[in-house]
Amino acid sequence: MHVLIINGSPRIKKFSNTDKILGKFTKGLCENGTTFEQYEVSDKEQWDKMREAYYNNDNVLIALPLYVECIPGLLLEFLETLKPKNDGTKIAFILQSGFAEGIQLRCGEAYLEILARKLGCEYMGTLVKGDNFSIRFFEGEQQDRITEPYTEMGREYSKQGNFRSEDCKKFTGPEVFPAYVRFIVGLMQKTVAKKMFAKVAQNWGCTKAIDYKPYS
Amino acid sequence: MILIVNTTSDNAITGELKRCIDEKTLEAEIVECASLKISHCIGCNYCWLKTPGECSIKDDYEIILKKIIHADQLWVISDTALGFIDHKGKNIFDRILPIATMYLKFKGDQMRHVPRYDQRTDIGIIYSGEVERDYMDRWTERAALNFESRSLGVFSKEQIKEAVSCMC
């Protein structure tokens, strides 16, 4: 199988969490001889080639971050330039987000099924998982700890050609956190997380408070 | 204040809205995006962690952002594509991130970003074209969570009177 992979993140490849996820995913994907080509929506110079590849491939995988409950505006802009295929092309998606609970991604996932239909492609399912916000803030082993599970999902996709298996569904993790986890995480957000954000901000050269109001 | 952002180039819609608004003597502002430059969100996270509350993209979206934080209602008028609002309409929503902070909290059973400002802005959609109606309703409800507000509903441009009845 040969797969066209589109990284639908508007963030440049170097800092793209979706790209790091795809790095691990494709490692698993290629183990059994599956090949792929990857393009970046964030680089408009690739759009013509990407469009051509879309028409020439019958296995398409779009990986994307959730942007305001649906797909990012830039990815939408690219997709608007495509004509429906209606030739048996199969399309699958990897939907990832910062928010951790599965429920946060369901509205986006629902759209992807509609999108497959609008593009005249057969919907092969969506691999849904959140809690990926911090990928860009880590390197090496720490980053691998977050992204490595996607390798197994790459193997799974190369075997099944879809994301419909129980393992893929389980990959999402909890739909919502149980009350005691919410209590603990909520407390952490008020304390250690605030300190961590302040530290990242400082490293980025931020001189204002995180909750600064520039326009009030 | 009611903020109406027209991302289509059809000012007949805003023309009719203006007449209805004047009749009801509502306080409203209309922004026509046809002459504005508004980019997509590039996901840089600067508005959360480098220049809190400020977008790194210096374009005309700042005009809209400054109005949203004083608006009780935000209505986005959008063309449609692929069963949804088109990218110009979606970009208006994607670029609201500066009104949230990096901080997180639980709102009900789900995590949400702590808002930067006190204003709560309800959102409504007026579309021109074809959409998956049930999905648009669901999406708008969900999108409102990002404003800690509620959806005012989704209306086609042929239903402007119904939309105006939700403006106050």
Smallest Cα distance from B135 to chain A, Å: 7
Number of H helices, E strands in chain B: 6, 8
Closest partner CB to A201 (pick from B41, B42, B49): B49
Q: Which domain holds residue B108?
A: 2-165
Q: Is residue B159 predicted with pLDDT exceeding 90?
A: yes
For residues A198 and B50, what is the distance between their CA atoms, to the nearest angstrom? 10
What are the chain A neighbours of B44 within 8 Å (beta carbons)? 11, 15
Structure tokens at A19: 């790209």
What is the set of domains in chain A, with CATH numbers? 2-170 (3.40.50.360), 177-216 (no CATH)
For chain B, what is the domain count? 1
ipTM over 0.95: yes
Interface probe with B: pick from A74, A175, A176, most Cβ of B within 10 Å: A74
- Please give the full DSSP string across A129-140, using - where no structure is assigned: E---GGGGG--H
Q: What is the signed CA dihedral for B9, B11, B13, B16, rounded to 10 degrees?
A: 180
Q: What CATH number did the domain enclosing B107 receive?
A: 3.40.50.360
pLDDT (tens digit, 9 = 90+) per residue, B121-141? 999 999 999 999 999 999 999
The counts of H helices and E strands in chain A are 9, 5
Distance CA A53, CA A135 (A): 29
Number of C-beta neighbours around residue A147 at 10 A: 20
The Cβ of residue A115 has, within 10 Å, a number of other Cβ atoms equal to 23
Q: Nearest residue on chain A to B113, judged by CA atoms?
A: A99
What is residue A216's predicted lDDT score, i.e. its pLDDT? Answer: 81
Cβ contacts of B144 on chain A, cutoff 8 Å:
none
The per-residue pLDDT for B30 is 97
Low-confidence residues of chain A, pLDDT below 50?
none
Helix (H, G, I), strand (E, B) or coil at B77: strand
Using CA atoms, how far apart are residues A10 and A83, in angstroms rounded to an integer? 22
DSSP, collapsed to helix, strand or coil, labels residue A6 as strand
Burial class (CB in 10 A: 0-12, 13-18, 19+), B136: buried
- The reported pLDDT for the residue numbered A44 is 97
Question: Averaged over B52-81, what is the pLDDT?
Answer: 98
CA angle A191, A194, A195 (to 5 degrees): 90
Q: What tens digit of pLDDT does each residue of B8-41 get?
A: 999 999 999 999 999 999 999 999 999 999 999 9
Q: Pick from B46, B48, B116: which is nearest to A213 by CB?
A: B116
Distance (Å, whole) CA B78 – CA B125: 7
**Chain-centre distance of CA B104, in angstroms?**
22
In this prediction, residue A149 carries a pLDDT of: 98
- Residue B136 touches partner A, C-beta closer than 8 Å: no
Distance in angstroms (rounded) separating the CA atoms of residues A49 and A39: 8
B135 CB neighbours in chain A (<8 A) are: 110-111, 114
Count A/B contacts: CB-CB distance under 8 Å.
Answer: 155
